[in-house]
Amino acid sequence: MRLLIIGTLGGQIGAASQIAMQKGAKVQQAETVERALDQLRAGQGADLIMIDVHADIARLVTSLESERIVLPVIACGVGNDSQAAVRAIKAGAKEYIPLPPDAELIAAVLHAVSEEPSTIVYTDQSMAELIKMADQVAPSEASVLITGASGTGKEMMARHLHAKSRRKDKAFVAVNCAAIPENLLESELFGHEKGAFTGAVTRRVGKFEEADGGTLLLDEISEMDPRLQAKLLRALQEREIDRVGGAKPVKVDVRIIATSNRNLQDEVAKGSFREDLYFRLNVVNLVMPSLARREQDIPVLARHFVKKYSEANHIDERPISEGALARLKAHNWPGNVRELENAIHRAVILATGSEIGPETIMVSGALGASGDNNVSDADVETAALVGRTVADVERDLIIDTLHHCLGNRTHAANILGISIRTLRNKLRLYSQEGFAVPQPGESGAAPAP
């Protein structure tokens, strides 16, 4: 786990650093936001930022977002200054930690960020065979193509491969090719020199250089433009990249893992994906099975997510009732493991009794709590939505979810299955339109008309 500390933290930086290092973190420090950004642009990656509450947190968060550097930001300050904490959260910090540092609190934050993301939960035989194959190829330098439907855990498998590889002590860097605009993806991958294009106000190291010595995940590679595919192919063949606007190539040493929810052979046949790149990537193909084909894993995963989100929401862990398990098994899970995770997160928050009952399992197409399969909950819910716009329904769902989470943006975003940035943008729009948006700690009020 790589920790970047910004500021002096009121003289407590030494204590915070020592605690972090004792927990296994690699610590870097920058005195100012600008120096921290320079370090990140230069490829000195981090997994978490801890910043002095008196630093320009808003500038940091805005810069990270505009430069597509995805990192959680934790604000820290001497004493328990509630106003400073509120300002930090409003500026975009994920949490606030008072100083002097409490060892258990620092450890909990580090654990939450560095929680082993490569641990794949399974008992089903099909997954056991796939994991066995993954473990066999992980120590090699071969490129791996991971395919499967959305939500099956392709990125989890990529992280598993990295954790089992000879590169496990080096960086694991992920790039979502579908989430970055085509005109920016080249710079994101290969970096750029200052002045290479409008807006390139400083030199920026790309993901290839950031992952040097480690693993680079190209997520949803089927979305990559064919022109950029040619440059990627050259980088893989020559093991060197050209920064945008650069004068000479830069040598890189990375292991490539790519994922796709499309059939790349079909994309090659259609002419949208280069055949030579496909063969370069597809040295080993791991096919992630849908959750519907992993029926034995549904109860195991459900209990795993109950434990995870009970701890995350500071709720006593409740057992899952037989009725709830039956409802989970009856669903076909088109959204796969991600859909199951979101469903269990909702259930953990909504459960009020001594166990998680079927009434808390909100999935379309499953049996209602009464067991009547003639009219499902989904039919009733759909009928209530007829005549309303998608935007209105989405707004009410987001605000109602925020009420359930007592205004906690991070928990609401997780339940809704959207990024915290998307949630904040939507809430800003709702506020501008005159709707009451719950603030942290608020609950119960209906949205304003």
Contact 390, 397 (CB under 8 A): no
The mean-pLDDT minimum among 49-63, 115-129, 296-310, 365-379 falls in: 365-379
Query: How do strand 2-6 and strand 26-30 relate by DSSP bridges?
Result: parallel
Give the residue from 114, 142, 175 where a domain finishes.
Answer: 114
In angstroms, rounded to a whole number, what is the distance separating the alpha carbons of residues 26 and 379? 52
The answer to whether position 437 is within a domain reads no
The mean-pLDDT minimum among 72-81, 212-221, 287-296 falls in: 72-81
Residue 346: which CATH number?
1.10.8.60
Identify any residues that bridge with 257 across adjacent strands, giving them in sequence order: 144, 217
The answer to whether position 167 is within a domain reads yes
The answer to whether position 215 is within a domain reads yes
What's the pLDDT score for residue 164?
Answer: 93
CB atoms within 10 A of CB 276: 13
How is residue 366 annotated by DSSP?
S
Q: Three-state DSSP class for 173?
A: strand
What's the pLDDT score for residue 11?
Answer: 65
Does residue 378 have a pLDDT over 60?
no
Average the pLDDT over 18-34 and give the result. 81
275 shares a domain with 320: no
HEC profile for 200-244? CCCCECCHHHHCCCCEEEEECHHHCCHHHHHHHHHHHHHCEECCE
380 shares a domain with 357: yes
Residue 436 identity (one-letter amino acid): A
9 band by pLDDT with thresholds 50, 70 and 90: low
What's the pLDDT score for residue 253?
Answer: 96
Mean confidence (pLDDT) of the chain: 83
Does residue 371 have a pLDDT over 50?
no
In angstroms, rounded to a whole number, what is the distance separating the alpha carbons of residues 369 and 351? 14
351 shares a domain with 265: no
CB atoms within 10 A of CB 381: 11
The answer to whether position 445 is within a domain reads no
What's the pLDDT score for residue 91?
Answer: 87
What's the pLDDT score for residue 449?
Answer: 38
The answer to whether position 298 is within a domain reads yes
Residue 103: which CATH number?
3.40.50.2300
Give the residue from 289, 315, 330 where a domain finishes.
Answer: 289
Percent of the chain with pLDDT over 70: 86
Average the pLDDT over 338-357 and give the result. 91
The mean-pLDDT minimum among 342-346, 349-353, 390-394, 445-449 falls in: 445-449
Positions of E strands within 229-351: 240-241, 250-251, 255-260, 284-287
- From the centroid of its chain, how far is CA 410? 12
In angstroms, rounded to a whole number, what is the distance separating the alpha carbons of residues 155 and 374? 38
213 shares a domain with 91: no
How is residue 10 annotated by DSSP?
G
- The residue with tokens 């089903």 is 124
135 shares a domain with 277: yes
278 shares a domain with 172: yes
Does residue 14 have a pLDDT over 70?
no
Distances (CA, A) of 433 to 91, 237, 249, 322, 420: 21, 53, 50, 44, 20
How is residue 375 annotated by DSSP?
S
The answer to whether position 392 is within a domain reads no
How deeply is 24 buried, as exposed, middle or buried, from its count of CB atoms within 10 A (0-12, 13-18, 19+)? exposed
374 band by pLDDT with thresholds 50, 70 and 90: very low
297 shares a domain with 189: no
The answer to whether position 411 is within a domain reads no
CA neighbor of 440 nearest in space, from 82, 45, 44: 82
Residue 390 sits at φ, ψ, to 5 deg, of: -60, -40
6 shares a domain with 95: yes
CA neighbor of 335 nearest in space, from 290, 398, 289: 290
Residue 132: which CATH number?
3.40.50.300
Distances (CA, A) of 277 to 182, 231, 264, 298, 412: 18, 10, 10, 36, 39
The mean-pLDDT minimum among 219-223, 290-294, 368-372 falls in: 368-372
272 shares a domain with 130: yes
Q: How many domains does the chain fold into?
A: 3
* Helices marked H in 239-296: 264-270, 275-281
In angstroms, rounded to a whole number, what is the distance separating the alpha carbons of residues 296 and 314? 28
Average the pLDDT over 347-371 and give the result. 75
Range of the domain at 23: 2-114
Does residue 28 have a pLDDT over 90?
no
The answer to whether position 439 is within a domain reads no
What's the pLDDT score for residue 100?
Answer: 74
Give the residue from 289, 304, 327 where a domain finishes.
Answer: 289
246 shares a domain with 175: yes
Biggest CA pair distance of the chain? 69
Average the pLDDT over 195-209 and give the result. 80
Q: Three-state DSSP class for 410?
A: helix
Q: What is the chain's length?
A: 449
282 shares a domain with 145: yes
107 shares a domain with 13: yes
